[in-house]
Amino acid sequence: MQTDSSFTFVLFGGTGDLSMRKILPALYEAHRAGGMLADSGKIVAVARHAADRGEYIQWVNEHVKPHVSKNGVDETAWSSFLERIEFVKIDLGNPEDFALLRDAVKDLPGIRVFYLATGPSLFVPICRALASVGLNENARIVLEKPLGYDLKSSNAINDAVGEIFAEEQIYRIDHYLGKEPVQNLLALRFGNALFEPLWRREWVESIQITIAEELGVEARGDFYDNTGALRDMVQNHLLQLLSIVAMEPPHSMDSDSVRDEKLRVLRALKPINPLDIGKVAVRGQYHSGVIRGNAVPAYATEPGVKPNSTTETFVALKVEIENWRWAGVPFFLRTGKRLADRVAEIVVNFRAVPHSALGASALRAGANRLVIRLQPNETIRLYCLAKQPGEGMNLASVHLDLAFDQFFREGQMEAYQRLLLDVINGRLALFVRRDEQEAAWRWVEPILNEWKASNKPPKPYAAGTWGPAAASAMLAQHGTCWLEEEN
């Protein structure tokens, strides 16, 4: 992926955690690779916690450098990367300061990208301040999640930003869409005759999508206690992954063709009757427990969390899609904090053979399945049954690894690196369009409203486990279980 696109990348929240851990390391990796970033491209960090460029570069060396390059830092590349960085000290609460930014970038080359690595409460004020000094013209704006608290607040932000930037200028980022296995899922489905004929209700028994974390809320207790797992993970990451898995083949990979098909999936999600939410939605909250031999506290005792909080840290859902391809196929979504392992994966369970002359093992659920692992290691694995060596016809599970790192010499590109390059080069396919976001909020909102109205506490689960027993019971009713394997 080479580019001649000159750019000025303006990073709001330049000293924030996201900039430190993801954005600046991703830009460095693109710089180090050579040819991915135009030589004339500049990075302008905006923050108020550094006095000048020298102090900011010192901060980058101290805080960002440890997060780059798994195989070590190329000092020559790092030094030339730092030469790309400029710094502007701005108080985001003072619109008059944006004249300083205008003056700093007016002579810099190329397309202007404004990345808002800030809290959502600052999205609209920043956009209005940019417009007040004419910086919204012919520019691109990148918005991080969460974009609103519910459908109403999301629409309010989108309306306000949409008055300043056209839809084709707005890049709503969901980093899971930039992960290599998600890209390979599209390649497997739409580039091969082998999988696409099986990708439908006649051959698929169920699909699971899991995003599990070992970490708790860390230093984000105050934010998380007003958000919860449904807003933080389901409305965006999980429903976006579901739409990628279930979408129809687009006629091309251009931005609107892909996003049109994702939107059709989101609009086909079967609405949940409030009376049935207890049957198809499980919410939990972690209590104290042990993870990798270390005792961890209960959610209610985390800093910033209200002691009597009813905020969910775990969600499991049964989802149905009302269309010809997927009618009757359950999609099970699961996410949570302080679970037994850190893993993100998609599991496609194929139906068992209709009749087995080889014994009951050929009829068990999940004997044939495709597992797309997104983290911590990115792999795709196809499971099937084979005869065990020796006397008799005894079957055992075996798997085929699609080991892309053995076929391709170049390393896999990190999600943020891919997405930032897409922003710079004007590719929108992997970013969330407004109507997608609205459809996701519209489906999630009845669950939020019912949980709030019922005032029932979340189901407890011990930290270091896989969540409340009710989540496993929900799958057992459909004759299946969560895939819980060692990495």
DSSP 26-41: HHHHHHHHSSSS-TT-
Host domain of residue 134:
7-144
Query: Does the residue 166 lie in any domain?
Result: no
Q: Which of 144, 166, 185 is the last residue of a domain?
A: 144
Contact in structure between 118 and 48 (CB atoms under 8 Å): no
Query: Does the residue 87 lie in any domain?
Result: yes
Query: What residue has token string 């600052």?
Result: 122
Number of alpha carbons in the 13 Å side-chain half-sphere of residue 484 = 13
Verify that 337 and 443 share a domain, yes or no: yes
Residue 459 assigned ligand-binding role: no
Distance, C-alpha 231 to centroid of its chain: 13
Whole-angstrom distance, CA of residue 338 vs CA of residue 467: 9
Contact in structure between 213 and 337 (CB atoms under 8 Å): yes
Query: What residue has token string 């004997």?
Result: 367
Residue 92 assigned ligand-binding role: yes
Instruction: Tell me which amino acid residue 475 is.
Output: L
Residue 175 assigned ligand-binding role: yes
* Residue burial 385-421, b: 16+ Cβ < 10 Å; e: rest: beeeeeeeeebeeeeeebeeeeeeeeebbbbbbbbbb
Verify that 275 and 209 share a domain, yes or no: yes
Query: What residue ranges of the chain have pLDDT lower than 70?
Result: 1-4, 71, 361-363, 365, 403-405, 409-411, 485-487
CA angle, 223 then 229 then 235, to 5° = 105
Query: Does the residue 79 lie in any domain?
Result: yes
Contact in structure between 453 and 201 (CB atoms under 8 Å): no
Q: Which two tokens stand for residue 426?
A: 């004007």
Verify that 350 and 446 share a domain, yes or no: yes
Q: Which of 122, 144, 166 is the last residue of a domain?
A: 144
Verify that 262 and 307 share a domain, yes or no: yes
Residues belonging to the chain: 487
Reduced to 3 states (helix: H, G, I; strand: E, B; else coil), residue 186 is helix
Q: Which pLDDT score is estimated for 365?
A: 66
Verify that 247 and 340 share a domain, yes or no: yes
User: Which secondary structure element, helix H or strand E, spans residue 222, and what is its range?
Assistant: helix 221-225
Whole-angstrom distance, CA of residue 434 vs CA of residue 441: 11
Q: In this structure, what CATH number is given to the domain that contains residue 231?
A: 3.30.360.10
Verify that 115 and 239 share a domain, yes or no: no
Residue 339 assigned ligand-binding role: no
Residue 48 assigned ligand-binding role: yes
Query: Does the residue 195 lie in any domain?
Result: yes
Query: Does the residue 73 lie in any domain?
Result: yes
Contact in structure between 180 and 404 (CB atoms under 8 Å): yes
Whole-angstrom distance, CA of residue 418 vs CA of residue 69: 15
Pairing of strands 170-172, 139-143: parallel
Verify that 313 and 368 share a domain, yes or no: yes
Verify that 346 and 445 share a domain, yes or no: yes
Whole-angstrom distance, CA of residue 17 vs CA of residue 141: 19
Query: Does the residue 36 lie in any domain?
Result: yes
Question: What are the residues facing 465 on neighbouring strands?
Answer: 339
DSSP for 408-419, written as a single string: -SSPPPPHHHHH
| Contacts with 303 (C-beta within 8 Å, 6 or more apart), sequence order | 219, 221
Instruction: Tell me which amino acid residue 225 is.
Output: D
Query: Does the residue 398 lie in any domain?
Result: yes
Catalytic residues: 237
Q: Which pLDDT score is estimated for 363?
A: 65
Residue 317 assigned ligand-binding role: no
Q: In this structure, what CATH number is given to the domain that contains residue 96?
A: 3.40.50.720
Q: Which of 129, 144, 159 is the last residue of a domain?
A: 144
Q: Which pLDDT score is estimated for 409?
A: 65
Residue 91 assigned ligand-binding role: yes
Instruction: Tell me which amino acid residue 357 is.
Output: A
Which candidate, 487, 474, 486, places its Cα nearest to that of 208?
A: 474
* Residue burial 127-140, b: 16+ Cβ < 10 Å; e: rest: bbbbbebebbeebb
Verify that 130 and 191 share a domain, yes or no: no
Reduced to 3 states (helix: H, G, I; strand: E, B; else coil), residue 236 is helix
Residue 225 assigned ligand-binding role: no
Verify that 118 and 202 share a domain, yes or no: no
Number of domains in the chain: 2
Verify that 107 and 196 share a domain, yes or no: no
Query: Does the residue 167 lie in any domain?
Result: no
Whole-angstrom distance, CA of residue 299 vs CA of residue 284: 11
User: Which secondary structure element, helix H or strand E, spans residue 151, and what is its range?
Assistant: helix 151-162
| Contacts with 388 (C-beta within 8 Å, 6 or more apart), sequence order | 394, 395, 396
Distance, C-alpha 165 to centroid of its chain: 24
Verify that 341 and 235 share a domain, yes or no: yes
Reduced to 3 states (helix: H, G, I; strand: E, B; else coil), residue 268 is helix
Q: What is the mean pLDDT of the chain?
A: 91
Whole-angstrom distance, CA of residue 28 vs CA of residue 194: 38
